[in-house]
Amino acid sequence: MTATIAPPANDALAKRNVFVLVLAQAFLGAQMPLIFTIGGLAGQSLASNICFATLPISLIVLGSMLSATPVSAIMQRYGRRTGFLLGTAGGAIAGAICAYGLYLSSFPVFLIGSFFTGIYMSAQGFYRFAAADSASEAYRPKAISYVMAGGLGAAVIGTQLVKLTSDALPVVFMGSYIAVIFLNVIGSSLFYFINIPKPAAPTADSPKGRTRWELITTPRIAVAVICAMVSYALMNLVMTSTPLAVVGCGFTKADASNIVMGHVLAMFAPSFFTGHLIARFGVEKIVGMGIAILGGAGIVALMGVDIMHFNVALVLLGIGWNFGFIGATTMLTTSYSEHERGRMQGLNDLLVFGGVTLASLASGGLMNCSGGDPATGWAAVNYAMAPFLVLAGGALIWLVLRPKEQTV
């Protein structure tokens, strides 16, 4: 079943909304590379057992997973603006709690703040869907891609904030979380300029659409969700461990920040042309290319632990995520109807961030507790990618080989 959302006469409104969402992705989104750069290091400084160093990152993703369905339902009922403002409120509260946890040297308080960060992360995940809401079918993949490209600004702002704020106060990293509060408070004003009509309220005779089970067992939707899960989970698995691996192998926090910045730039820079590539070559080919590039990232990471290997592996990881995740999102948005939108988007992000949560939980254990040194742990992290790449690649091949009428 393909989408039945009526295409607009032109894309003027969609382009205005995309512009606002790009700014939000760049400014508000800066908190995510900031937090992912320092979260594991802060956790390592607070945790009594280094195996739990990445638990703060895991709690962020768990919070995002648990928030996905209610945030989607709120957007479906009250509109995108309300949901996005809820996200910035969660982000600001999270920054305050994490800063307080650092001040107290309390790992449990820091974990609570990390969980609240997940509310913002969940809302941010809907920027890409909001870009598609008012777009024509032809402009939709480009709209999604352009909004994701806003992450370029987030990469630069977030990683520079790490350098400016991590040691700005006597308590290490506390200044970074205070900066997160200001990002959310100031950035929330952007959403007053967005104009995405709320979905029509359902009536007694409104079409009910497919159940969640019927949606997720539709072949095209199932494969889109699997590819999105694998792309995002593997990216998170490796990125979460990167600062620990870089510092553990004898390099500095500034080196780790630069590598993460290069990675985040690689995540979003291709977005300027990913939509055009999808339109030209087809979404399945772009998703497949993303999965292959993720595999290449793992191979490079296993070749060595010097700065060059870290940089190249993390750049490939970012590009692979971009093609895999944006492609899977585009595939998904053409596979449901308007009245199924809130149900399917919430289910998708629940499953995607469920996978990311598991990957994040595994990351710290693999990195710190699967070998005698950081290099061995880093190798374990990258070997763990293999079975999931096989799963996503196999699912995509299965979809492509099925008769077209059996995929929807």
Q: What string of DSSP letters covers 27-49?
A: HGGGHHHHHHHHHHHHHHHH-SS
Q: Mean pLDDT over residues 91-115, rounded? A: 96
Where residue 201 falls among pLDDT bands split at 50, 70, 90?
low
Residues belonging to the chain: 408
Contacts for 91 with CB less than 8 Å, ≥ 6 apart: 28, 31, 116, 117, 119, 120, 180, 183, 184
Which of these, 20, 22, 27, lies nearest to 179 by C-alpha position?
A: 27
- According to the model, what pLDDT value does residue 202 have? 62
- Work out the mean pLDDT of the chain and round it to a whole number: 88
Sign of CA dihedral 384, 118, 171, 265: positive
Structure tokens at 382: 């990258």
Q: What is the mean pLDDT of residues 145-149?
A: 86
pLDDT bin (cut points 50, 70, 90) of residue 7 is: very low
Residue 5, pLDDT score: 44
* 315-342 confidence digits (pLDDT tens): 999 999 999 998 998 899 888 887 787 7
Q: Other C-beta atoms within 10 Å of 192: how many?
A: 10
The mean per-residue pLDDT over the stretch 122-145 comes to 86
Burial degree of 170 (CB within 10 A; 0-12, 13-18, 19+): exposed
* DSSP 8-state class, residue 362: H
pLDDT on residue 408: 57
Neighbours of 330 (CB within 10 A): 26
Closest residue by Cα to residue 88 from 53, 125, 121, 47: 121
- Amino acid type, 244: L
CA distance 387 to 322: 20
How far is residue 299 from each of residues 366, 382, 384, measured CA to CA in Å? 17, 8, 12
pLDDT tens digits, one per residue of 14-50: 889 999 999 999 999 999 989 988 888 898 889 888 7
Burial degree of 204 (CB within 10 A; 0-12, 13-18, 19+)? exposed
Please give the distance of CA 161 from its chain centroid, rounded to a whole number.
20
pLDDT band at 275 (very low <50, low <70, confident <90, very high): confident
Q: Of 69-83, 297-311, 350-364, which has the strongest mean pLDDT?
A: 297-311
Query: Taking the CB of residue 15, how many other CB atoms lie within 10 A of it?
Result: 16
What b/e sequence results for 359-393 when a residue is b if at least 16 CB atoms lie within 10 Å of its CB, and e otherwise? Answer: bbbbbbbbbbebeeebeebbbbbbebbeebbeebb
Q: What is the per-residue pLDDT across 225-237, written as a single tens digit (0 to 9) for each?
A: 999 999 999 998 9
Over residues 348-355, the mean pLDDT reads: 86
**pLDDT at 200 exceeding the cut of 80:** no
Mind listing the domains of the chain with CATH numbers? 12-196+213-406 (1.20.1250.20)
Query: How far is it, in rounded angstroms, from Cα 267 to Cα 236?
Result: 12
